[in-house]
Amino acid sequence: MVRVLGDRDESERIVSYFRDSALSWDILLEALPDGTAVLDEHGTMRYVNGVLAELTGYSREDLVGRNVQMLVPARHRDTEHVARREHAQDPNTRLIWSDMDLSVLCRDGSELSVDFALSPLAIEGRAWVVAAIRDNRAQRDAETAQAEVELRFRVAFEDNMAPMMFTDLDDRTIAVNDAFCQMVGYARDELMGKDSKIFTYPEDVGITEETLRRVNSGEADQVRYVKRYLHKDGRVLVVEVLRSPARDASGKNLYFVFSERDITEERALSAQLSHQALHDSLTGLANRALFEDRLAQAHAAVVRHGGLAAVLMLDLDDFKGVNDSYGHIVGDQLLVGIARRFEQVTRSTDSLCRFGGDEFLYLAQGLTSPEDAILVASRLLGALAEPFFIAGASIEQRASVGVMVWDASSTETSQLIQDADVALYEAKRRGKGHHAVFTSSMRAKEENRFATIQELRHSFQSGDLEMHYQPIVELSTSDVVGFEALMRWHHPKHGLVPPDIFIELAEQSDLILELGAFAMHESVTAASSWEPQGPRAISPYVTVNVSAHQFHDPNLVAMIEREIDQAGLAPDRLILEVTETVALQDIAETLVVMEQLNRLGIGVALDDFGTGYSSLSYLAALNPRIIKVDQSFVRPQHDLARSNTLLEAIVTLGNKLDMVVLAEGIETAAQLKRLNNLHCDLGQGFLWSPAVPNVEALTMLEEASDT
């Protein structure tokens, strides 16, 4: 059905005009790629082409004679109407709407996004129009895709936290992101079109030029390099740069993409860390790691070119005393002062390091003879000759030096330090302020010593150490009044090892503290098992030997107090045996410890009396409860008369000072008689019994109370 609005006859006439003319509508409009309709002044579609029918899903018959509004979505109908009417009033213009959200309503109710054009068709004074639509979906899709690409680019470039820059093939900036502007301190405008020289550290301009040459010549694909920038405020930045060329399909460079990283702080931090990792924080000297590195280099040089070198290990003598008497702050200052003095005598080819604590290492190179190494040792020791003035105190500090001289034949560098350490041990043994040069016999001795300490440690852990007790007898009554606790090591292979040997070894390590604590615990526990005995109901005391190291241990008194508390032993039943030598090492400290012991009610016996300093004035000051006269007076090897006189003097002195005198090592009745005549109070020796296990000590006590 054909519906015609308006002057039907007139319209028919126009249509037939065209039909009859040489230019047929059909031919013209069917040739167009766009959907096209001829509309009369009322909007009635007078003609539609096949493309329009196809696009909208209608047949031509469905459309011809119907108003075009049927193809306009409801929301656009008013607009369409107005637009067509306005167009009709100025029929000479051609209107094209593209890029707008215009659509036609298809037969199935879907909408088709289109560009839209109206062209006037003035025929015999009537304002008809040709309306054409073009499906723009493909273009729209392409635009959306393009927008997405742009969005992605913005996120990847503009919003990237890494500074990024694009440059043309002459390295002039074509784009920079915010992070880049921030890094160099320039605004975007200041950078566009310029090359990187404006923010490159002058000396590093060549780096950029070189990388440009390499990528442009095809020598490199991507270049990663580090260069310095100059921030607008003058700061120097260290920047890591990755330059990648963007290429077209044929591989031709189009432009460059720079992705960068400011590594200024990272670099500074790592420099600081590597300094810290290689230097001692207190003295600023090289540390062990750096020293070992230099030693390895020196070793390689000696292996290659021959020659002689030496490692010297220095250890400060009794440095602990400085810390103890002046405090750690002064101790630290002294270490710094010593480091400076050593530095002053360090030759430029040599190296000095703080090895830890109060130990220093010195590497001497280019020596012509072993004597040169001894000269170096003397020079280092000489640097300490003058006292140090710290915090108002004048402090004298000496050191001992172990010297290891080596040449290309010495294999391992780690062994060199160990050998210097062995020599140092020997130097210490010779006395303070000395040096010793390493010899291979020292190493054998050292290895033996080391092996024995290991065995001792192992035996201690597996319970092969035991305390034995030797009775102490009152000479006038023959009553047992106490026992001396003596340590026994049952070596799995060598049998009983004498304590003189292993105690001295343990003294050189912290093991002595563990052994001492063990001895204390065992002895105090044993003593608490000794019941009062005899008519006088004597509760025997125990005397426990305390080593030098242990005596200087600040935890000693606390440890003892804990032990007697736990065992429930009356404090006056414990006596510490301290040798004269140990007690007189540091009188001030000894007096402090003795005062603490005194307050707890624990007594002290001065052991091996007569073999050390035997200073009478100190004896009075120390005021020990017991003086143990050394065995050498009781069993003299020669000059019996003289030793008798000395023994008499000691006993008299002790009695006068109100101290108990005990004679050690009494083996014969004759020796006992002599001591009785001198009115010596107590005795100890094989005449009565050697040291025995506690079970035997208990039997001994029972038998004594039975008689």
**CB 669 → ligand C2E: shortest distance, Å?**
12
Given strand 164-167, what is the order of strands in its sheet?
173-176, 164-167, 253-262, 236-247, 223-230
Q: How far apart are CA 448 and CA 151, in angstroms?
A: 78
Say how many C-beta atoms besides its own lie within 10 A of residue 696's C-beta. Answer: 13
Contact positions with ligand C2E (CB under 6 A) in 572-611: 577, 607-608
In the block, residue with structure tokens 């090289």: 286
| Touching ligand C2E, residues 372-391 (CB under 6 A) | none
Q: What angle do CA 523, 526, 527 make, to 5 degrees?
A: 85
Longest pairwise C-alpha distance within the chain: 171
Span from 77-85, 331-339, 541-549, 689-697 in contact with Ca ion (CB under 5 A):
541-549
C-beta separation of 172 from 147 below 8 A: no
Alpha carbon separation from 398 to 338, 378, 384, 404 (Å, rounded): 10, 12, 6, 20
**Which residue lies nearer to Ca ion by CB, 133 or 503?**
503
Question: 498 contacts which partner out of ligand C2E, Ca ion, none, CB within 5 to 8 A by kind?
Answer: ligand C2E
d(CA 196, CA 208): 8
> Of the two residues 180 and 469, which places its CB atom closer to ligand C2E in the complex?
469
Contact letters (x/-) for ligand C2E, 477-506, by CB under 6 A? --------xxx----------xxx--x---
Told to check if 543 binds ligand C2E by CB under 6 A, we report no
Site for ligand C2E (CB under 6 A): which residue of 17, 389, 613, 686? 686
User: What does 685 interact with, of Ca ion, ligand C2E, none (CB < 5 to 8 A by kind)?
Assistant: ligand C2E
Q: Is residue 418 exposed (0-12), middle (13-18) or buried (19+ Cβ within 10 Å)?
A: middle
Report phi then psi at 456, rounded to 5: -65, -45
Q: For residue 58, what are the contacts with CB-CB under 8 A and spacing of at least 6?
A: 107
Q: Which stretch binds Ca ion (CB under 5 A): 20-28, 361-369, 543-551, 654-662?
A: 543-551
Q: Which of 184, 691, 697, 700 binds ligand C2E (CB under 6 A)?
A: 691
The 603-642 contact track toward Ca ion, x by CB under 5 A, reads ----xx----------------------------------
Q: Which of 520, 461, 462 is nearest to 487 (CA)?
A: 520
| Window 600 to 659, contacts with ligand C2E (CB under 6 A) | 607-608
With CB under 5 A as the contact rule, the residue among 136, 173, 259, 545 that binds Ca ion is 545
503 touches, from ligand C2E, Ca ion, none (C-beta below 5 to 8 Å by class): ligand C2E
Binding part of the chain for ligand C2E, among 4-12, 59-67, 119-127, 678-686 by CB under 6 A, reads 678-686
For residue 449, the SS3 value is helix
Closest residue to ligand C2E in the complex (CB): 685
Q: Among the candidate windows 22-30, 69-77, 195-203, 573-581, which touches Ca ion by CB under 5 A?
A: 573-581
Structure tokens at 147: 């927008």
CB nearer to ligand C2E: pick between 538 and 582: 582
Distance CA 627, CA 614 (A): 11
419 counts as binding Ca ion under rule CB under 5 A: no
Which whole-number Å values give the CA distances from 478 to 106, 482, 647, 671, 707, in the listed order? 133, 12, 20, 14, 12
Binding of residue 700 to ligand C2E (CB under 6 A): no
Q: How far is the CB of 579 from Ca ion (least distance, A)?
A: 7
Residues contributing to the site for ligand C2E (CB under 6 A): 470, 485-487, 498-500, 503, 519, 545-547, 577, 607-608, 664-667, 684-686, 690-691
